[in-house]
Structure 1
Amino acid sequence: MVQVEPGRILLIAFLSTLLITSSIAQKEEEEEVDPNSPESTTPKEVTYDSRSLLVNGKRMLFFSGSIHYPRSPPDTWPDLLRKAKMGGLNMVETYVFWNVHEPVQGKYNFEGDYDLVKFIKLIQQHKMFAMLRVGPFIQGEWNHGGLPYWLREVPNIIFRCDNEPFKMHMKKFVTLVIEKMKQAKLFAPQGGPIIVSQIENEYNTIQLAFKERGDSYVQWAAKMALSLDTKVPWIMCKQKDAPDPIINTCNGRHCGDTFTGPNGPNKPFLWTENWTAQFRVFGDPPSQRSAEDLAFSIIRFCSKNGTLVNYYMYHGGTNFGRTSSSYTTTRYYDEAPLDEFGLIRQPKWGHLKDAHRAVNLCKRALFSGSPFVQKLGPDQEARVWEQPGTSLCSAFLTNNDTKKPQALRFRGQDYQLPPRSISILPDCKTEVFNSQMITTHHNSRNFVRSVAANKNFNWEMYREVVPDDPGNKLNEPRELYELTKDTSDYAWYITKLDLGRRDLPMKNEILPVLRVASLGHGLHCYVNGKYIGTAHGSKVEKSFVFQKPVEFQAGSNQIALLGFLVGLPDSGAYMEKRYAGPRSITILGLNTGTLDITLNTWSHQVGLDGEKNQIYTQNGFPKVQWVKGGPSEGVTWYKVIPLQHYNFF
């Protein structure tokens, strides 16, 4: 008979119990995935009423963030989504970018950086729902508002109105996207994360320009979207006349006070764009929006019936390549909770996370209680959600005085509120959060010049040469958008002009003036191969006039204008009729008077030599002759060759 010590028997029994308990717990955990949760692949019914969206009949508060897949490399998507989830989000919004998916008519690209299906699946894997804003016009400070350039050249097309050519192409692309989502089972009724979709985008801002053709277009867009049978609600942002059952939503900074509400009694209060800062344009200072103001805005909205808030942007990212709209920088919404590089920006990220927690503590009262407002002072109030006859109660105390703190007395207790702030009382007693009082830590991002990366480098340059006679001649300069066709930002305009000695001023110190009136966006000017100067417009005023004294010579003179664009327009009515490039070229101060050379014969060439040879690549840079780097005028490429190799850590 084998003798076993009592202590060992106890240890074995304890370990056996622990293993059995662990096994049961693991099994229960696997079995207890909430079928209403985003990560569940169980089909989910998505409906709505006047109070909220419902997932399988369950009301939910949604804190969403805009993260756009083309504005970040795919290998960063998991980290961005992880940080969004950590920040208290349960939904991620993205546009669908038509011009990256169909850059050439009929040729589609949904791979790599543009793998929309992969991105939506990752959202679900990170236990969040998805909002798919199909558009397909998106604005978004994106080149051409997301519309592909080739659409401009469709005969008789007028963008975004009751125009048959536009509607045909719009329906074709929207249908393609929806079918792609269905094939991947990404809509909630199929077990996917998409619970709401958007058609069109902020159409009310231009609707009046099209009169009755704008009204009928809204009706058509709504019917077209509903016909695709996604079985999830559709929305139209900033669309006061959204046809039933489309939900109209708010965009702005303070929708809790500016939104007039849904246009139907059975639609919920949804906020599709809460701007976390402002996109940057060239020439403007950085835009800031405080964490305190953002927190105030979302609490205010939720206290006044709001049940979905989407931060635009939660991560702005980068407008890679030539994807920025007119005059917009490549850095997009860098002041968002996650900056351009995906780094957490404090205190904005942490303060909003705390705000989400605090509002969620009020969820039961918000969905089961009845609201009323109690005045506590001239600019002070309490918004209370309470279920009569029970202890269920949440209150939002507001001090709207922008300059002075206030002591508020509510239900026998005193509360100190800083200027323009809201305090959250989930039980109508305990203050758990104030929008103006930040408890999260702060951080700052600094750019430090690398010593190793800027040491022992050999700089070389290649200066663009003015083409001699590129051909492609017309009697006047061609319009710049139509000339480049969104394949390059640059195009040469070249003409030759014969001047006699008597045409030129008699005094050497007096020079004729070359004047170029342009519709945008900028130009570099060369005369007889010599760089003369540069001029450009701005986001506000794209047209400009270039005017410089020029030393012409008796005989033949070459005038070369290198027109350039800074993105295509992304908003407004009749986008297909926007124009750019030189429209009037004159020479002033000649002995024979002002000479208009606009209708002289002009040669045209699209793109730069460096672009054509791709000298920015490993295979392309040997194709041109590089010289020692230094100051240069005109369009110049620079490259650097390290004199020795470094390991960067």
Structure 2
Amino acid sequence: MASSPESVVRFVGIACLLFALSATAAPPRRPRKAGVSGVSYDGRSIMINGRRELFFSGSIHYPRSTPEMWPDLIQKAKRGGLNVIQTYVFWNVHEPVQGHFNFTGRYDLVRFIKLIHKHKMYVTLRLGPFIQAEWNHGGFPYWLKEIPGIVFRTDNEPFKYHMQNFVTKIMDMMKSEKLFFPQGGPIILAQIENEYNMVEAAYREDGLKYVQWAANLALGFNAGIPWVMCKQKNAPGPVINACNGRNCGDTFTGPNSPTKPSIWTENWTAQYRVFGDPPSQRSAEDIAYSVARFFSNNGALVNYYMYHGGTNFGREGASYVMTRYYDEAPLDEYGLPKEPKYGHLRDLHQALKLSRKGLLWGVPSVQPLGPGCEARLYESPDSKVCVAFLTNTNPRTDATVNFRGVNYFLPRRSISILPDCKTVIFNTQRVNAQHNSRTFHAAGETNKNDKWHMFQERIPKFRNTRIISSKPLELYNMTKDTTDYMWYTTRFRLEDEDLPMRPDIRPVLLVSSLGHAMHAFVNGIYIGSGNGAKLEKSFVFQKPMELKRGVNHISILGLTIGFPDNGAYLEHRLAGIHTAAIQGLNTGTLDLSQNKWGHEVGMKGEKLGIFTEEGSKKVQWTEAKNDKPVTWYKRYFDMPRGNDPVALDMTTMGKGLAWVNGNCIGRYWVSYLSPLGKPSQSVYHIPREWLKPKDNLLVIFEEHGGKPEGILIVTVKRDNICTVVTEFHPPTIKSFSREDNEIKTLVQDVKPRAYLKCDDNKVIRSIAFASFGNPTGACGNFTVGTCHSPQAASVVEKACLEKNSCVLPVSAQAYGADPACPGTTSTLVVQAKCARKKKDDKE
């Protein structure tokens, strides 16, 4: 047979399992502290009613999905092994106008928290009110910027006054709804401020004073729950300092007091993306390693940021941030489980829960096991409880270690969890969870009623504008976060002798901009666009143009793509045109910066609301034509059949905004290509809740030109499911349970198996790939290896076709494979296609 160091581990572990466990005795049950109720903490854990617990949390932001999506997202989070949902509170959507509050629809915070409570889960409420979160203005409402004398996030009286008012408003609301845990609600933790260490030095002594003030403000509410400050090493008094990052099990210096627990408020499940970025990924194995490492190092709570990223609807994303947010999270933008990330973390949570007693009450120690390898232990000798985390930190080298007389194989950069210090029930590098891949399918409704109409915005001239200045005005202060757009217009007169005499020389428009983007028109003709980037928002625009004798008109559409969301002195940021000039004239460069400039804020279509049914009647629509700048397009479409998520494929468009039935689905920017030569995002989510069965109004505002007839209405599926399991994997976590301190096996034959499961009401309709031996690739793109077994497909088809789920053996014998084949990895790979049951198809 093909041999591996893992085979020794597997057979020795199974042979010794029953004998080794039968000798252990159950420990006495850890009682809660007498007379203790509510939420408290010690150096090991957060405690609920005096009892230590392990907490697995996930960030789900209520404005980034719809209320109709919330129950399903929360339920999937619970099925994924979470017991806490974390969310920010978004000041600028709740108080967009000073003193006028909005807690309805996607902004119904109370409803969201009550739904979490209904699912018997806890809540961490991050009040900020600065939240960053790749959210417009870091969560601050625009009007706050215009408060006289204000300086954000420091010992500044105007800022502290308004911050205290809003935080008090939210705290009073939570108390009146009885949402804090001591009142019978789900909120067990709250956060004040956010990552303040990143900017504190900029404010010097006032920064230190502000941190203390913010802590006192939070504690003064007497909510009966602990407070957290993330990335705040000097969190005052009882406020817990917490870690954000990818590897807090190694990078976190720890709580600033031995009486505080280790909390990981943000474990980044991928990386947020901005327009122009290439794809961002983080593997399930890497996340699982980081979490196991954290809990092996006295971790008490981990939060996945994000567990569901969702969508930056409308204009809610920060500067350059894509409309799709953390799509690589365990639940993707549409709320579909992204496998194996979702399932692998679920299995990890179960493994840690089976290790709960040791983690919460055992005595920690570390035992070296060789270069780059160690065992982190939690033991309670009096009750014979022992948990081991066997760790190989080497990023490229596998290892075999001897722990308490038994050899254990550890893949590179992996952790094996032994909840009884004997039995491997989980390894971070060995994924038992199934995989899937996402596909987009053009709906038949795309071609029905596919008749587009358009309305073109007028290109304004200087004489048409009312806001006149001696120089171009700053964009943030003019738009006041009510629109992305403002027109800059100016005019100048040329004589024949000013114009170039040579045919190879043309005048050039030179504009320096502080960001974020612009579209330029000369005498009503579009000549080009320019833009900055997230890291460098300013840019220089240079384009040739045609000028004429007499008066010439320059019209520039200046754009913001969200307000900035991070850094010190956020209130002082600038955007828009800085200088402008005409190069290439016979008389030299003509500086327009000090010319008179006219300004017009917003687009006519926005002001008339032509993206709504009623507003669309206020303008004259004509038959659509392609590649028209600053143009509105509209059509009607029917809702696609079924329950799959719906989206727009905008590949043929440029840049702009899109609305469905008056709801803005967000900014699109397909013309901004990543270094890979592709758009960062070309498909945009339409929540089904925003659709009617018939005649849905789709309105697009295209800034610089596109082909609307190429827009596709698509449905989103994850029906391609896969499994990749070797003979050397641990058995699935479902094979084990714990009774007191004993690990019990729930199956007689403790061997690795492969599992495939479709969504409810779907079955495995076909097998696209099956191989045992050494196949390679990823779900959706597998290739057979040199040790392929031809019988694998028929064995899998017999076991799985027309079933909702199936379980497959993982052995060479089961598939007629040669176990001695040179190069075999003893791996089973299957890719299956799920489809609706046939009776549903008839319907």
Query: Which whole-Å CA distance do the structure 2 matches of 1:62 and 1:367 have between them?
Result: 11
Task: Please state if 1:118 is matched with 2:119.
Answer: no
472, 476, 483: which one aligns with 1:481 = 476
* Letter paired with 2:182: P
Query: Which whole-Å CA distance do the structure 1 matches of 2:640 and 2:493 have between them?
Result: 58
Residue deviations 1:402-453 (CA, integer Å, cap 9, x gap): 1122111111111111111000000000110000001111111101122441
Query: Which whole-Å CA distance do the structure 1 matches of 2:445 and 2:640 have between them?
Result: 9
Listed as ranges, the matches of 1:390-409 within 5 Å are 390-409=383-402
Report the equivalent of 1:266: 259
CA displacement at 1:627 relative to structure 2: 2.9
Residue range with higher mean Cα deviation, 89-98 or 397-406? 397-406
CA displacement at 1:615 relative to structure 2: 2.0
Structure 1: which 5+ runs fail to align?
1-34, 37-41
629, 634, 647: which one aligns with 2:624 = 629
Residue deviations 1:159-185 (CA, integer Å, cap 9, x gap): 101111100000010011000000001
Listed as ranges, the matches of 1:221-236 within 5 Å are 221-236=214-229
Task: Please state if 1:513 is matched with 2:508.
Answer: yes
Report the equivalent of 2:196: 203
Task: Please state if 1:614 is matched with 2:609.
Answer: yes
Report the equivalent of 2:164: 171
CA displacement at 1:456 relative to structure 2: 5.5
Query: Percent identity between the aligned chains?
Result: 59
Residue deviations 1:545-585 (CA, integer Å, cap 9, x gap): 11111211111111101001100000000010000000001
Give the number of aligned pairs.
608
Query: Which whole-Å CA distance do the structure 1 matches of 2:492 and 2:595 have between them?
Result: 8
Report the equivalent of 1:493: 488
Residue deviations 1:517-551 (CA, integer Å, cap 9, x gap): 00000001011111111000011110001111121
Please tell me whether the aligned partners of residues 403 and 420 of structure 1 are also in contact (alpha carbons under 8 angstroms): yes
* Letter paired with 2:328: E
314, 325, 328: which one aligns with 1:332 = 325
CA displacement at 1:44 relative to structure 2: 4.5
Query: Which whole-Å CA distance do the structure 1 matches of 2:475 and 2:360 have between them?
Result: 56
Residue range with higher mean Cα deviation, 50-59 or 467-476? 467-476
CA displacement at 1:191 relative to structure 2: 0.8
Question: CA separation of 1:357/1:73 partners in 2, compared to 1, >3 Å: closer, same or farther?
Answer: same
Residue deviations 1:257-302 (CA, integer Å, cap 9, x gap): 0000011121110000000011110000121011111111111100
Structure 2: which 5+ runs fail to align?
1-30, 643-843
Task: Please state if 1:593 is matched with 2:598.
Answer: no
Task: Please state if 1:219 is matched with 2:223.
Answer: no
Report the equivalent of 1:63: 56
* Letter paired with 1:593: G
CA displacement at 1:43 relative to structure 2: 11
Report the equivalent of 2:145: 152
CA displacement at 1:454 relative to structure 2: 2.9
Instruction: State the TM-score, normalizing by the size of structure 2.
Output: 0.71
* Letter paired with 2:92: N
Task: Please state if 1:127 is matched with 2:120.
Answer: yes
Residue deviations 1:333-365 (CA, integer Å, cap 9, x gap): 011011111111111111000000001111111
Counterpart secondary structure, 1:74: coil
Query: Which whole-Å CA distance do the structure 1 matches of 2:636 and 2:314 have between them?
Result: 23
CA displacement at 1:455 relative to structure 2: 4.8
Query: Which whole-Å CA distance do the structure 2 matches of 1:374 and 1:646 have between them?
Result: 60
Query: Which whole-Å CA distance do the structure 1 matches of 2:382 and 2:197 have between them?
Result: 44
CA displacement at 1:389 relative to structure 2: 3.9
Report the equivalent of 1:424: 417
Question: CA separation of 1:75/1:452 partners in 2, compared to 1, >3 Å: closer, same or farther?
Answer: closer
Task: Please state if 1:242 is matched with 2:253.
Answer: no
Task: Please state if 1:352 is matched with 2:362.
Answer: no
Structure with a larger share of its residues in strand: 2
Query: Which whole-Å CA distance do the structure 2 matches of 1:438 and 1:94 have between them?
Result: 29
Report the equivalent of 2:553: 558
Query: Which whole-Å CA distance do the structure 1 matches of 2:634 and 2:640 have between them?
Result: 20
Residue range with higher mean Cα deviation, 456-465 or 498-507? 456-465
Residue deviations 1:54-111 (CA, integer Å, cap 9, x gap): 1111000000000111111001111111011111001000000000000000101112
Please tell me whether the aligned partners of residues 43 and 188 of structure 1 are also in contact (alpha carbons under 8 angstroms): no
Report the equivalent of 2:431: 438
Question: CA separation of 1:44/1:407 partners in 2, compared to 1, >3 Å: closer, same or farther?
Answer: same
Report the equivalent of 1:101: 94
Residue range with higher mean Cα deviation, 493-502 or 330-339? 493-502
Query: Which whole-Å CA distance do the structure 2 matches of 1:454 and 1:442 have between them?
Result: 33
CA displacement at 1:464 relative to structure 2: 2.0
CA displacement at 1:646 relative to structure 2: 8.2
Listed as ranges, the matches of 1:246-325 within 5 Å are 246-325=239-318
Task: Please state if 1:530 is matched with 2:525.
Answer: yes
Residue range with higher mean Cα deviation, 44-53 or 355-364? 44-53
Please tell me whether the aligned partners of residues 518 and 530 of structure 2 are also in contact (alpha carbons under 8 angstroms): yes
Residue range with higher mean Cα deviation, 316-325 or 505-514? 505-514
Report the equivalent of 1:17: none
* Letter paired with 2:432: T
Query: Which whole-Å CA distance do the structure 2 matches of 1:465 and 1:603 have between them?
Result: 15
Query: Which whole-Å CA distance do the structure 1 matches of 2:616 and 2:624 have between them?
Result: 15
CA displacement at 1:458 relative to structure 2: 1.6
Task: Please state if 1:363 is matched with 2:356.
Answer: yes
Q: CA RMSD in A?
A: 1.6
Query: Which whole-Å CA distance do the structure 2 matches of 1:407 and 1:585 have between them?
Result: 67
Query: Which whole-Å CA distance do the structure 2 matches of 1:123 and 1:150 have between them?
Result: 32
Task: Please state if 1:568 is matched with 2:563.
Answer: yes
Instruction: State the TM-score, normalizing by the size of structure 1.
Output: 0.92
Please tell me whether the aligned partners of residues 443 and 640 of structure 2 are also in contact (alpha carbons under 8 angstroms): no
* Letter paired with 2:347: D
CA displacement at 1:620 relative to structure 2: 2.1
Task: Please state if 1:54 is matched with 2:21.
Answer: no
Counterpart secondary structure, 2:455: strand
* Letter paired with 2:469: L
Question: CA separation of 1:531/1:647 partners in 2, compared to 1, >3 Å: closer, same or farther?
Answer: closer
Counterpart secondary structure, 1:639: strand
Query: Which whole-Å CA distance do the structure 2 matches of 1:108 and 1:452 have between them?
Result: 39
Please tell me whether the aligned partners of residues 41 and 261 of structure 2 are also in contact (alpha carbons under 8 angstroms): yes
521, 545, 549: which one aligns with 2:544 = 549
Report the equivalent of 2:779: none
Residue range with higher mean Cα deviation, 204-213 or 509-518? 509-518
Please tell me whether the aligned partners of residues 516 and 546 of structure 1 are also in contact (alpha carbons under 8 angstroms): yes
Report the equivalent of 2:751: none
176, 180, 184: which one aligns with 2:177 = 184
Please tell me whether the aligned partners of residues 463 and 637 of structure 1 are also in contact (alpha carbons under 8 angstroms): yes
Please tell me whether the aligned partners of residues 52 and 60 of structure 1 are also in contact (alpha carbons under 8 angstroms): yes
Question: CA separation of 1:646/1:519 partners in 2, compared to 1, >3 Å: closer, same or farther?
Answer: closer
* Letter paired with 1:353: R
CA displacement at 1:387 relative to structure 2: 1.1
CA displacement at 1:472 relative to structure 2: 1.1
* Letter paired with 1:257: D
Please tell me whether the aligned partners of residues 365 and 385 of structure 1 are also in contact (alpha carbons under 8 angstroms): yes
Please tell me whether the aligned partners of residues 44 and 190 of structure 1 are also in contact (alpha carbons under 8 angstroms): no
Please tell me whether the aligned partners of residues 444 and 640 of structure 2 are also in contact (alpha carbons under 8 angstroms): no
* Letter paired with 2:388: A
Query: Which whole-Å CA distance do the structure 2 matches of 1:368 and 1:267 have between them?
Result: 16
Please tell me whether the aligned partners of residues 509 and 545 of structure 2 are also in contact (alpha carbons under 8 angstroms): yes
Counterpart secondary structure, 1:491: strand
Please tell me whether the aligned partners of residues 44 and 191 of structure 1 are also in contact (alpha carbons under 8 angstroms): no
Please tell me whether the aligned partners of residues 144 and 570 of structure 1 are also in contact (alpha carbons under 8 angstroms): yes
Counterpart secondary structure, 1:520: coil
Counterpart secondary structure, 1:323: coil
